[in-house]
Structure 1
Amino acid sequence: MAAPAAGWSSLPSDLINGIADCLLATNDIDYYMDLRAVCSNWRSATADPKNTLELRFRPRQWIVLDEVFENNTRLLVNTTTGRILRKELPLLRNYYVIATTAGGFFVLSDRKYIHRARVLNPFTGHLIPFRTPVPLEQDVAAAVFGPKPTLVLISDRSRTQYRADPASECYTEYVDQENYPMVRLAVLGGMYFDGEDAPVPRIPDVMADKILRMMGAFGVQPLEMYPDDLIDSLSAYNPQLFPNRCFLVKFAGEVLVIIKLKHHMNVFKMDTDRDLLEPVKSIGNLAIFIGYRRCLAVNAENFTSIEANCIYYIRSIDHSIHIYKFDLEDMKEERVSQGIDALHQIGLSYAHPPYTIIQLISSYTVNVRESQLFFARMTEGMSDVRTDGEKVPDNLEDLASFVESMISFDS
Structure 2
Amino acid sequence: MQIPIWGAKQARSSISIHYKWSDWTKFRVEPAEDDISNSSDQIPIWGAKRARNSTSIQTDWRDWANLGDGPAGLIAERLLANDVADYICFRAVCRPWRLCCTDPRTHCILERRFHPLHWIMLRETGGSPRCRFMNMSTGCSRYVHLPELCGHDVFGPTTEGLLVLLDRTTWVVRLLNPLTRQAVDLPPATALMSKSDLKEASCRRDLLQVSGAGLADDYIFAVHFRWIKTLAVVRPGDVNWTVVARGRWLLPALSFAGRFYCATTEAVMVVETNADQPPRLVIAANLTRPFATIMMDTVHIVDNGGELILVDRQCNGNDNRKYKVYRVDFESKKMVPIHGLGGRAVFIGIERALSVSPLVFPSISEDAIYLGFDGQTTGKLDNSPIHLLYGIAEPRQFEDNIDDSTLYEPLGVDSYLSWCVTGYRDTLRDIV
Q: Structure 2 length as normaliser, TM-score?
A: 0.67
Q: Is the CA contact (8 Å cut-off) linking 2:208 and 2:226 kept in structure 1?
A: no
Structure 1 pair 202–327 and aligned structure 2 pair: CA distance change class (3 A): farther
2:378 corresponding residue in structure 1: 316
Q: The residue matched to 1:359 in structure 2 has which SS?
A: helix
Q: 98, 103, 127: which is aligned to 1:48?
A: 103
Alpha-carbon distance in structure 1 between the residues aligned to 2:166 and 2:273 = 25
> By how many angstroms is 1:332 displaced?
1.5
Q: 92, 114, 137: which is aligned to 1:80?
A: 137
> By how many angstroms is 1:134 displaced?
2.7
Alpha-carbon distance in structure 2 between the residues aligned to 1:244 and 1:12 = 59
2:172 corresponding residue in structure 1: 116
Alpha-carbon distance in structure 1 between the residues aligned to 2:425 and 2:132 = 14
Larger radius of gyration: 2
Q: Does 1:32 align with 2:87?
A: yes
Structure 1 pair 308–14 and aligned structure 2 pair: CA distance change class (3 A): farther
1:362 corresponding residue in structure 2: 418
> By how many angstroms is 1:17 displaced?
3.3
Q: The residue matched to 2:394 in structure 1 has which SS?
A: strand
1:405 corresponding residue in structure 2: none
Look up the equivalent residue of 1:161 and give its one-letter code: L
Q: Is the CA contact (8 Å cut-off) linking 1:285 and 1:309 kept in structure 2?
A: yes
> By how many angstroms is 1:119 displaced?
1.0
2:71 corresponding residue in structure 1: 15
Q: Is the CA contact (8 Å cut-off) linking 2:133 and 2:142 kept in structure 1?
A: yes
Q: 287, 310, 324: which is aligned to 1:257?
A: 310
1:71 corresponding residue in structure 2: 128
How large is the Cα RMSD of the aligned pairs? 3.5
2:397 corresponding residue in structure 1: 337
1:230 corresponding residue in structure 2: none
Look up the equivalent residue of 1:260 and give its one-letter code: R
Structure 1 pair 258–124 and aligned structure 2 pair: CA distance change class (3 A): same
For structure 1, list consecutive stretches of 5 or more residues without a partner in the other structure: 225-241, 376-395, 399-411
Q: How many residues align?
A: 335
Alpha-carbon distance in structure 1 between the residues aligned to 2:397 and 2:77 = 39
Alpha-carbon distance in structure 2 between the residues aligned to 1:99 and 1:317 = 25
1:383 corresponding residue in structure 2: none
Q: Is the CA contact (8 Å cut-off) linking 2:210 and 2:223 kept in structure 1?
A: yes
> By how many angstroms is 1:351 displaced?
6.0
Alpha-carbon distance in structure 2 between the residues aligned to 1:331 and 1:40 = 57
> By how many angstroms is 1:311 displaced?
0.9
Q: Is the CA contact (8 Å cut-off) linking 1:82 and 1:299 kept in structure 2?
A: no
Q: Is the CA contact (8 Å cut-off) linking 1:247 and 1:258 kept in structure 2?
A: yes
Q: Is the CA contact (8 Å cut-off) linking 1:340 and 1:359 kept in structure 2?
A: no
Q: 273, 276, 299: which is aligned to 1:246?
A: 299
> By how many angstroms is 1:330 displaced?
1.4
> By how many angstroms is 1:72 displaced?
1.4
1:235 corresponding residue in structure 2: none
Alpha-carbon distance in structure 2 between the residues aligned to 1:371 and 1:316 = 15
Question: Highest relative contact order (Cα 8 Å, sep 6+), 1 or 2?
Answer: 1
Q: Is the CA contact (8 Å cut-off) linking 1:269 and 1:277 kept in structure 2?
A: yes
Look up the equivalent residue of 1:15 and give its one-letter code: P
2:118 corresponding residue in structure 1: 61
Alpha-carbon distance in structure 2 between the residues aligned to 1:161 and 1:289 = 24
1:393 corresponding residue in structure 2: none
For structure 2, list consecutive stretches of 5 or more residues without a partner in the other structure: 1-39, 42-58, 191-200, 202-206, 262-271, 315-319
Alpha-carbon distance in structure 1 between the residues aligned to 2:113 and 2:425 = 28
Task: State how 1:339-354 maps to structure 2 within 5 Å.
Answer: 347=403, 349-350=405-406, 352-354=408-410
Structure 1 pair 123–269 and aligned structure 2 pair: CA distance change class (3 A): same
Alpha-carbon distance in structure 2 between the residues aligned to 1:368 and 1:112 = 19
Q: 362, 365, 373: which is aligned to 1:304?
A: 362
Q: The residue matched to 2:105 in structure 1 has which SS?
A: coil
Identity of aligned residues (%): 23
Alpha-carbon distance in structure 2 between the residues aligned to 1:109 and 1:168 = 17
> By how many angstroms is 1:364 displaced?
1.8
Q: Could you list the per-position Cα deviations for residues 162-214 of structure 1 after superposition, in whole angstroms to 9, with x for gaps in the alignment?
A: 22222322222345445x33xx32338898569xxx9589875261xx21xx2
Q: Is the CA contact (8 Å cut-off) linking 1:152 and 1:162 kept in structure 2?
A: yes
Structure 1 pair 16–339 and aligned structure 2 pair: CA distance change class (3 A): farther
Task: State how 1:6-405 maps to structure 2 within 5 Å.
Answer: 6-26=62-82, 28-53=83-108, 54-93=111-150, 95-103=151-159, 104-109=161-166, 113=170, 115-130=171-186, 132-135=187-190, 137-145=207-215, 149-178=219-248, 180-181=249-250, 184-187=251-254, 192=259, 199=273, 204-205=282-283, 207=285, 210-211=286-287, 214-216=288-290, 220-221=291-292, 223-224=293-294, 242-261=295-314, 262-314=320-372, 315-317=377-379, 324-335=384-395, 337-338=397-398, 347=403, 349-350=405-406, 352-368=408-424
Look up the equivalent residue of 1:88 and give its one-letter code: H
Q: The residue matched to 1:274 in structure 2 has which SS?
A: coil
Alpha-carbon distance in structure 2 between the residues aligned to 1:12 and 1:364 = 42
Q: Is the CA contact (8 Å cut-off) linking 2:216 and 2:255 kept in structure 1?
A: no
Alpha-carbon distance in structure 1 between the residues aligned to 2:284 and 2:60 = 67
Structure 1 pair 23–286 and aligned structure 2 pair: CA distance change class (3 A): farther
Alpha-carbon distance in structure 2 between the residues aligned to 1:361 and 1:371 = 13
Alpha-carbon distance in structure 2 between the residues aligned to 1:349 and 1:322 = 20
